[in-house]
Structure 1
Amino acid sequence: MTVNRTTTPTSRYWIVGGLLAGGALGVFLGLGLSTTPETVGVTEPGVVVRFAHPLVRTLLDLAATIVVGLSLLPKLLGFSRPAMTEPVLRIARPAAVVAAAVWAFTALLSIVIRAYETRPDAELTMPMVVDYVQRVGAGQGLLFSAVCALVYLWIGVMAVRRGESVPAELRILISMFGLLPLPVTGHASNWKYHDYSMISMELHVLGAAAWTGGLAAVVVLVAHRRGLLAEALPKFSKLATVALVLVVVTGLFNGVLELALNPAVSLPGSLFTTSYGLVLVGKVVCAGLLAVLAANIRWRLLPQIAQHKATAIVAWASVELAVMGIAFGLAVVLSRAQVA
Structure 2
Amino acid sequence: MASTAATTRRLVFAVLLAVASVAGVTAACIAAVGLADALAVTGLSDPGPITTYGLSFFRAAGEIAAMVAIGHFLFAAFLVPPQAGGVLDADGYRALRIGAVACAMWAVCAALLVGLTVSDVSGVPLTQLTPLDVWSAAGLVETTAAWRTTSILAAVVAGTGLAVLRWSWTPGLLIGGLVTLVPLAVTGHSSSGGAHDIATNSLFIHLIAGSLWAGGLLALLGHAIRGGRHTDVAARRFSRLALWCFAAMAASGIINAAVRIQPTDVWSSTYGLLIVGKAAALTGLGVIGWRQRRSSIIALQRDPASRRPLVWLGFTEATLFGLAVGVAVGLGRTPPPQPTGEPSPAELALGFDLAEPPTITSVFFEWRVDVIFGAAAVAMTWIYLAAVLRLKRRGRPWSARRTACWVFGCLIVLFATSSGLGMYMTAMFSMHAVVQLLLTIVAPALLVHGAPVTLALQTLRAAGYDAASGPREWLESALHSPVIRTITQPWTALGVFAVGVIGLSLPAVFEIAISDHAAHMAMIGYFLCSGILLFAGGSGGGEPVPTPRRVQMPLVASALYALVGIVVMNMQNVLGDAFYRSLKLDWRMDLLSDQRLGGQINAAGGVLAVLTVIAILLVQRYRPSRKAGTIPAPGLDS
Taking structure 1 as the reference length, the TM-score comes to: 0.87
Deviations 1:292-321 (A, max 9, x none): 100000122211111225242111101101
In the alignment, structure 2 segments of 5+ residues that lack a partner are 1-6, 338-638
Residue 25 to residue 118, structure 1, CA distance change in 2 (3 Å): closer
Task: Give 1:63 deviation, angstroms.
Answer: 0.8
On the 8 A contact 2:31/2:56 being kept in 1, the answer is no
- Which residue pairs with 1:264 in the alignment? none
Task: Give 1:87 deviation, angstroms.
Answer: 1.8
- Which residue pairs with 1:54 in the alignment? 56
Task: Give 1:233 deviation, angstroms.
Answer: 0.8
Larger radius of gyration: 2
Counterpart residue identity of residue 18, structure 2: G
Task: Give 1:225 deviation, angstroms.
Answer: 3.2
* In structure 1, distance between residues paired with 2:12 and 2:86: 22
In the alignment, which of 94, 98, 103 is matched to residue 95 of structure 1? Answer: 98
Deviations 1:103-138 (A, max 9, x none): 111101101001112223484133432333222211
Residue 83 to residue 170, structure 1, CA distance change in 2 (3 Å): closer
Counterpart residue identity of residue 149, structure 2: F
Q: Secondary structure at the match of 1:79?
A: coil
Residue 271 to residue 111, structure 1, CA distance change in 2 (3 Å): same
Counterpart residue identity of residue 304, structure 1: A
- Which residue pairs with 1:325 in the alignment? 322
Task: Give 1:224 deviation, angstroms.
Answer: 4.4
Counterpart residue identity of residue 107, structure 1: A
Counterpart residue identity of residue 15, structure 2: I
Residue 224 to residue 165, structure 1, CA distance change in 2 (3 Å): closer
Residue 205 to residue 187, structure 1, CA distance change in 2 (3 Å): farther
- Which residue pairs with 1:167 in the alignment? 169
Residue 223 to residue 273, structure 1, CA distance change in 2 (3 Å): same
* In structure 2, distance between residues paired with 1:151 and 1:338: 33
Between the two proteins, the alignment pairs up a number of residues equal to 324
Deviations 1:146-203 (A, max 9, x none): 11111112211211xxx12551111011101111111234444552211121111011
On the 8 A contact 1:34/1:276 being kept in 2, the answer is no
* In structure 1, distance between residues paired with 2:219 and 2:197: 33
Residue 15 to residue 187, structure 1, CA distance change in 2 (3 Å): farther
On the 8 A contact 2:185/2:207 being kept in 1, the answer is yes
Q: Secondary structure at the match of 2:99?
A: helix
Q: Secondary structure at the match of 1:294?
A: helix
Mapped pair 1:157 → 2:162:
yes
Counterpart residue identity of residue 319, structure 1: T
Mapped pair 1:131 → 2:132:
no
On the 8 A contact 2:203/2:252 being kept in 1, the answer is yes
In the alignment, which of 268, 277, 284 is matched to residue 279 of structure 2? Answer: 284
In the alignment, which of 109, 113, 121 is matched to residue 112 of structure 2? Answer: 109
Taking structure 2 as the reference length, the TM-score comes to: 0.48
* In structure 2, distance between residues paired with 1:188 and 1:36: 21
Mapped pair 1:79 → 2:82:
yes
Residue 31 to residue 324, structure 1, CA distance change in 2 (3 Å): same
* In structure 2, distance between residues paired with 1:56 and 1:24: 6
- Which residue pairs with 2:294 in the alignment? 299
Residue 153 to residue 13, structure 1, CA distance change in 2 (3 Å): closer
Q: Which moved more, 1:95-104 or 1:119-128?
A: 119-128
* In structure 1, distance between residues paired with 2:137 and 2:146: 12
Identity of aligned residues (%): 21
Residue 321 to residue 201, structure 1, CA distance change in 2 (3 Å): same
On the 8 A contact 2:31/2:333 being kept in 1, the answer is no
On the 8 A contact 1:237/1:298 being kept in 2, the answer is yes
RCO (CA 8 Å, sep 6+): is it higher in 1 or 2? Answer: 1
Where do 1:176-325 residues align within 5 Å? 176-189=178-191, 191-225=193-227, 227-260=229-262, 267-268=263-264, 270-307=265-302, 308=304, 310=306, 311-325=308-322
On the 8 A contact 1:282/1:330 being kept in 2, the answer is yes
On the 8 A contact 1:34/1:279 being kept in 2, the answer is no
On the 8 A contact 2:8/2:226 being kept in 1, the answer is yes
* In structure 2, distance between residues paired with 1:51 and 1:254: 26
- Which residue pairs with 1:3 in the alignment? none
In angstroms, what is the RMSD of aligned CA positions? 2.5
